[in-house]
């Protein structure tokens, strides 16, 4: 009961913080295509409309949820903090055991969603900053570690979590370094993207509450699956980045000067 009380109290403080810091933007919130255009600029020119259907669908869902928040003027940093709070909140129902694990899985989904909403709201409100970019990336890695710890708390082996976490970090490290080397910020949409991580890790907890007698097996299976997918994703990204960075630079068309 103490954990639930602390969880509820801290949640109310976040709501109050969101209301106090909110200020309506002084410009019109862009439509979905406008959001995709801005997202593309911030991710090295990668256009989600012509790429992965999965990414396009995920960004569309996030846009639909984020648009009313942006109109209200919710601060992106409040959503970033909320994602960490929700990640930590997973441990409360997970520790309660029994059917509470089903609810814990959905709390993890909410954390993953908030982790994406902050960037979308920042884009829609035209509040993107270099500090926000660094903060969002750092929070992503913190949340990855918390999600893995939550699955370990319901029965997955810690050794598997360490391997899985290393692959998460290595995937994003390669992507970041490729961007610094002149590639785009995405490189390639792989099987190990954050939406897939959230889905598999939340399912690892949720279905432990459905199949109570096999909770450890469910947690281990779910984490093992996302580990394998992330290993494949690392290979996908390395191949795409190598091809991108070793490609010869595009030549500009020659300018023909008319004779006089």
Percent of the chain with pLDDT over 70: 83
The arithmetic mean of pLDDT across residues 15-32, rounded, is 68
Query: What is the structure's pLDDT at 206?
Result: 94
Give per-residue pLDDT as tens, 159-211.
999 999 999 999 999 988 887 887 666 667 788 888 899 999 999 999 998 99
- CB-neighbour burial class of residue 211 (10 A; exposed 0-12, middle 13-18, buried 19+): exposed
Q: Residues 6 or more apart from 83 whose CB is under 8 A from it?
A: 111, 112, 114, 115, 118, 139, 143
Among 9-18, 75-84, 100-109, the range with the most confident prediction by mean pLDDT is: 100-109
Quick check: 134 pLDDT over 80? yes
| All domains in the chain, ordered by first residue | 30-245 (1.20.120.1760)
Q: Comparing 140 with 58, which gets the higher pLDDT?
A: 140
Whether residue 14 has pLDDT greater than 70: no
Has residue 18 got a pLDDT over 80? no
- pTM as predicted: 0.82
* Residue 59, token pair as written in the block: 């960004």
CA distance 147 to 112: 9
Confidence (pLDDT) at 157: 97
Residue 210: φ, ψ to 5°: -80, -45
Indicate the pLDDT class of residue 142, thresholds 50, 70 and 90: very high
| 38-49 per-position pLDDT tens digit | 888 877 677 888
- The pLDDT confidence band at residue 257, using thresholds 50, 70 and 90, is low
């Amino acid at each position: 009961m103490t954990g639930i009380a602390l969880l509820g109290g801290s949640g109310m403080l976040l709501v109050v913080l969101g209301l106090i810091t909110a200020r309506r933007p002084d410009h019109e919130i862009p439509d979905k295509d406008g959001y995709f255009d801005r997202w593309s600029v911030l991710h090295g020119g990668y256009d989600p409309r012509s790429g992965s259907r999965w990414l396009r669908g995920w960004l569309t869902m996030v846009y639909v949820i984020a648009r009313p928040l942006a109109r209200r003027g919710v601060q992106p940093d409040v959503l970033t903090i909320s994602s960490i709070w929700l990640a930590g909140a997973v441990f409360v129902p997970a520790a309660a055991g029994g059917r509470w694990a089903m609810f814990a899985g959905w709390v993890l989904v909410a954390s993953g969603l908030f982790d994406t909403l902050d960037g979308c709201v920042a884009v829609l409100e035209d509040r993107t900053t270099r500090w926000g970019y660094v903060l969002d990336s750092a929070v992503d890695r913190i949340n990855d570690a918390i999600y893995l710890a939550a699955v370990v708390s319901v029965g997955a082996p810690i050794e598997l979590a360490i391997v899985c976490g290393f692959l998460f970090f290595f995937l994003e490290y390669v992507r970041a370094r490729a961007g610094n080397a002149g590639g785009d910020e995405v490189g390639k949409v792989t099987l190990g993207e954050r939406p897939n991580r959230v889905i598999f890790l939340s399912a690892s907890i949720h279905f432990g509450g459905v199949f109570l007698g096999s909770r450890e097996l469910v947690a281990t299976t779910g984490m093992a699956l996302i580990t394998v997918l992330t290993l494949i994703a690392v290979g996908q990204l390395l191949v795409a980045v190598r091809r991108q960075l070793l490609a010869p630079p595009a030549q500009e068309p020659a300018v023909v000067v008319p004779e006089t």
